[in-house]
Amino acid sequence: MEIFLSSALAQLGCEQFPIPAALFSNADTLPLHIIHKISAGFPSPAADYTAEPLDLNKYLIERAAATFLFTVTGDSMNGAGIFDGDKVAVDRSLPPRHGDIVIAVVNNEFTIKWLYTVRDVIELRPDNPAFSTITFKDGEEMQVWGVVVGVVRKVLHGR
């Protein structure tokens, strides 16, 4: 079974085609300083430690011309930690593999799902039990638009 990679521009029209954009649009990127690792379990002793600055563009984007940002709508991927309103960085140059989170085009609509191949069936699996798996059998066409490489979330909205 073949996973088709094609141009969403030709299939969906220009108005739906994502525009490549850096996370920070000005020429002077804002480096963020990593202070220390944070324990999400038991607290760890604090230390005065500063690592190298982190540039989110360099961290999330390996191939700028092939990387796009999407805003997620809906909650089918909540179990994967991808929530409504999150931004996902998507690399079109990466070949999709079994177990990747991908942006796919289904019925002329973008969707974000886990990609699995089981025997001769391609599955787009949500990560929320309230949603159903979408399956494609041999001979049915489905398009993987790109592979998700990162998620950006703003925790405090409106501040």
Active site residues: 76, 113
Distances in whole angstroms, Cα of residue 127 to Cα of each of 9, 96, 131, 146, 147: 28, 18, 8, 18, 16
> Residue 43 in 3-state DSSP?
coil
> Residue 40 in 3-state DSSP?
coil
User: With helix as H, strand as E and coil as C, how does 4-21 read?
Assistant: ECCCHHHHHCHHHCCCCC
Name every residue whose Cβ is closer than 8 Å to that of residue 133 and which is 6 or more positions away in sequence.
123, 124, 125, 126
Beta bridge partners of 83: none
Instruction: Report which DSSP code applies to 96.
Output: P
Contact 92, 66 (CB under 8 A): yes
